[in-house]
Amino acid sequence: MRIGEHLVVDTPVLLAPMAAVTDLPFRTVCEEFGVGFTITEFLSAHALSVGDPKTTGKLTASLGGRKFGVQIFGREESMMEDAARLAVKIGASLVDINMGCPAKRVVAGECGSALMREPAIAQTLVRAVVRAVPANVPVTVKHRAGWNQDNLNAPEFALALVEAGAKMITVHGRTRTQGFSGKSDPNIIKLVRDALPSHIPVVGNGDVISIDDYLRMRETTGCDAVMIGRGALGNPWLFARLKEVASGRPDPGPPGLEERLTVFRRHVELIETLKGGPRTLHEVRKACAWYARGLYGCNALRLRVWETPDLAGARALVEEYFAQLIERQSRLGLEPEMRDSKTESDGVFSSGDDQAA
C-alpha cells in the first residue's frame, strides 16, 4: 500500500493507536511480529506545543529506524502545526489527525469526533498540518462512521478531508454515540472506499480479531488495509499470521504456551528498559493480563498479579502460571489453544473467565 507518493507499507495491516496501550514497548512487540505500520496513541497538540513533559514523553520514534506515524488531536491550527513539526522532528513518516475520539473531555473541547460535525474546520486543520510538514510526510485522518445514526457522514467527510490534502483515511465503523458498544459497520467503510479516488488508501477498522475477520473486512468493504486495536492485546501473533496470509502463504497458526511466555518476557523487558519509573509495575500488570487472556484461570492470575506489590512478584506469578499450564497441557495431551478464533472462550484452555481479563 502506498500512502502519498513516498510512503510504502508492505503488509496491509496497521496497529490502531490506543491511548495508554500503544506505547513504545507495545509497538515494538507488534513490529517484531511483522505489523505493517504503527502509530502512537493520540497526543494533544496543545500539550505538545507547550512542551508538557508527560505528553512529549509519549512522542517516541520506533526502534531500529522503523517507520512509524504520530497521531495528534486539537482544533487550533497553530498548535496542530507545532505538534506536526515535532512529530517530523523525531522522524515520523506520517502525521495522523484524530477525528474519531468519542471521549467526553475530548469532545467537550470540540476535538476528536466532534470535528465530524464541522467539516469546514476539519479541512482547515488538515490544510494547516499539510503546510507544516515536508511534502514527503503524508497527513492522514482517522475518523468514525459519523456523529450518530442520523448523521452517518463518513463518505462526504472523508472526501472533504482528501480535498484538503489528506492522503489516507481510516474509518472505525461506529458512530460517536455508539462509543465502543454495538458493532462496527463495514457498510460505511465500503461507502467511504467508494467515495474516494482510488489512489487514496482507505483503512477499515473495528472488531477485527481474527484472520477470518481480516479477510471479511477486506472483501466486504474493498478497503486497502485493516487496522487492528483490541485484537492485538497480548496477541501480536495475529500480525505474524496476517502477514503470511496477506502474502498468500499459509497461516502459521496460533502460538504455543512456551512461545506466549517468551513474548511476555520480551514485552516486560521492553517496558523495563524503555519506560522504567513508577508506572512500570502498572504496565507490567497490564501485560500479565493480556498474555494470559483466554487461558485457563486467567482471571485468578490477574487478581493475584494486581495484589502483588512488586515487579519480581508479578513476574514470578506469571512464570508459575505458565509452568502449570504447560504441565497441564502435556498431562492432558491438549492442543494449543485457538486464541483468535470466534470461539476463543470455548477453547480447551478457557476457564470461561477470559472476558473479564
Ligand X SMILES: Cc1cc2nc3c(=O)[nH]c(=O)nc-3n(C[C@H](O)[C@H](O)[C@H](O)COP(=O)(O)O)c2cc1C
Residues identified as active-site = 101
Q: What is the DSSP letter of 98?
A: E
Is residue 43 helix, strand or coil? strand
User: DSSP labels for 103-162?
Assistant: -HHHHHTT-GGGGGG-HHHHHHHHHHHHHHS-TTS-EEEEEEEESSTT---HHHHHHHHH
Which residues in 93-132 contact ligand X (CB under 6 A)? Answer: 98, 100-101
Told to check if 217 binds ligand X by CB under 6 A, we report no
Q: Which residue is nearest to ligand X (CB)?
A: 229
The residue (of 66 and 230) whose beta carbon lies closer to ligand X is 230
Tell me how far the alpha carbon of residue 231 is from its chain's centroid: 9
| Among 49, 93, 205, 329, interactor with ligand X by CB under 6 A | 205
Among 172, 190, 193, 241, binds ligand X (CB under 6 A): 172
Stretch of 17-25, 188-196, 241-249, 288-296 contacting ligand X, by CB under 6 A:
17-25
Structural contact between residues 111 and 46, judged by C-beta atoms closer than 8 angstroms: no
* 185: helix, strand or coil: coil
Q: Is 16 a binder of ligand X (CB under 6 A)?
A: yes
Q: Should residue 236 be labelled a site residue for ligand X when binding is judged by CB under 6 A? A: no
Closest approach of Cβ 331 to ligand X, in Å? Answer: 36
Residue 340 interacts with ligand X (CB under 6 A)? Answer: no
Per rule CB under 6 A, is residue 19 in the interface with ligand X? yes
Among 18, 121, 195, 311, binds ligand X (CB under 6 A): 18
Calpha distance 60→270 (Å, rounded): 14
Pairing state of beta strands 202-205 and 225-228?
parallel
Among 12, 36, 231, 347, binds ligand X (CB under 6 A): 231
Of the residues 26, 42, 147, 237, which one makes contact with ligand X according to CB under 6 A: 42
Q: Decide: 295 and 325 in contact? Cβ < 8 Å.
A: yes
CB of 51 vs ligand X, minimal distance in Å: 20
Alpha-carbon gap, residue 290 to 222, rounded angstroms: 31
End-to-end CA gap in the chain: 35
Instruction: Figure out which of the listed residues 186, 201, 206, 294 binds ligand X, where binding follows CB under 6 A.
Output: 206
Q: Tell whether residue 55 is a contact of ligand X (CB under 6 A).
A: no
DSSP assignment letter at 303: H
Does 218 bind ligand X (CB under 6 A)? Our answer is no
Which residues have C-beta within 8 Å of that of residue 134, sequence separation ≥ 6? Answer: 88
* 209 and 231 Cβ atoms separated by less than 8 Å: yes
Which of 38, 93 has the CB closer to ligand X? 38
Interaction between residue 229 and ligand X (CB under 6 A): yes
Kindly list the residues in this chain that would bind ligand X in the complex (CB under 6 A). 16-19, 21, 41-42, 71, 98, 100-101, 142, 172, 205-208, 228-231
